[in-house]
Amino acid sequence: MRVLAVTNPAEGHFFPMVPFLWALRAAGHEVLVGAAESFLPHVTGAGMAGAATAPPMEMVEIMRPDTGDRAPQQPPTESAARAGTGEGFGRLAMLNHTGVGEICATWKPDVIVGETSAYAAGIAASRAGCPHVEFLWGIPLHTDIHGAGLEALARQELEPAPPMRTIGVCPPSFLVRGQSNPDWAMRYVPYNGPAHMQSRFLAQPERPRVLVTLGTVLPRYGDVGTLVSDLVAALNEQDLDVVVAMRESDRAKLGDPAKLPGPVREATWMPLAAVVGTCAAVVHHGGSGTTMTSLAYGVPQIVVPHFADQFVNAAHLVAGGCGVRARISTPASEIAGLVDQVLADPGYAERAATVARDCQDQAAPAQIAGHLTRSLTEGRNSV
């Protein structure tokens, strides 16, 4: 069968779907990924064929058009944040749905799999009369977010088809009251993009290893070099093996990496899945990919959320006892103290390990690919 996967231009939205798409390819199906032209290198880097649904775009600039070259700011209230996020997803759909529809008209997929924020998938499915499956890449989005997005689309007379099945990767123990389980619960298999992994990061370190990363979006906006350098300096006052993960393009914001204080291992980009398993804790911004990867390996987390779903991820971690949260204004010395707190209390690692076991208990991507194949074979209306 032919599967059209649709994603907004964000690694955290697309990467969790990659193992499922690999499973479909391994089963002999054709898979094509539709995304904005600027995002296609991430698609092809994952070994997938891609087709452009829109011209090049930066997702943050569409979601937060008033950001400019500053770090995105979180709205003052939760309701405003949810509305702004949903409306941003709506704007992305308005820019992408025509391109997705054109791919449907020419390639004629048997099913469209859209990540949860890619409303363009549902719009195209509605117009093409094609089955539509929604892929949830982390903690389910709040219903207010989807409500705001659908309202924004309705004002443009655009109506996505509701998904006929949902696939989710969030372990049940990490869901909160009021969040429903997906139709098909899939094991979260970490994929963080291709990278050259140096062997010294693969072995278990002699000292507790702490990974510091701010993800792929935040370093492009604002001054994160001071935050990282100060935090590394504070952590190096403890007996730790500190690893900093940043993209090559963001390293300049740290100045000369050789001048980072103390015995920091390296300031370079690496696939988190290859190094997190050797870590005792991860300090990060609260992005979905880093949160879910750390959970999958049962590693406690210290989160410094800045915007978007990072606050929700941090709240879930704290509620589940898998980590602690700091504020943007928290001094680096106090964040280092939180790291010490998490390492000293075995309860954090124990609770994180419980969530990791829940991840492993969910169905493998190949099993979910089989569910989808059987459903389509049995009849389009049974998907």
Q: What is the pLDDT of residues 199-252, one digit of tens each?
A: 777 788 889 999 998 765 554 555 555 677 788 888 888 889 888 887 665 566
pLDDT of residue 230: 81
Edge-to-edge, what's the strand order for the sheet holding 132-136?
49-54, 30-36, 2-6, 111-115, 132-136, 165-168, 184-185
Q: What's the pLDDT score for residue 256? A: 53
Buried/exposed 340-369: b ≥16 CB within 10 Å, e otherwise: bebbeeeebbebbbbbbebbeebeebbebb
CB 31 within 8 A of CB 21: yes
Determine phi and psi for 134, rounding to 5 degrees: -100, 135
Phi, psi of 366 (to 5 degrees): -65, -35
Domains in the chain: boundaries: 2-188+362-382, 199-360
Q: CA 36 to CA 15: how far, in whole Å?
A: 15
Low-confidence ranges of the chain (pLDDT < 70): 65-76, 177-178, 215-226, 247-269, 379-383
Q: What is the CATH number of domain 2-188+362-382?
A: 3.40.50.2000
Whether the pTM exceeds 0.85: the reply is: yes
368, 186 contact by CB (below 8 A): yes
Q: Does domain 199-360 have CATH number 3.40.50.2000?
A: yes
* DSSP three-state, residue 371: helix
Torsion on CA atoms 293, 319, 167, 99, rounded to nearest 10? -80
25 backbone φψ class: left, alpha, beta (φ>0; ψ -120 to 50) = alpha
Q: What is the pLDDT of residue 51?
A: 99
What is residue 63's predicted lDDT score, i.e. its pLDDT? Answer: 84
Same fold for the domain at 2-188+362-382 and the one at 199-360? yes
Q: How many alpha carbons fall within 13 Å on the CB side of residue 170?
A: 24
Q: What pLDDT is stored for residue 67 in this prediction?
A: 57
Contact 110, 131 (CB under 8 A): yes
What digits encode the pLDDT tens for the residues 188-211? 999 988 877 777 777 888 899 999
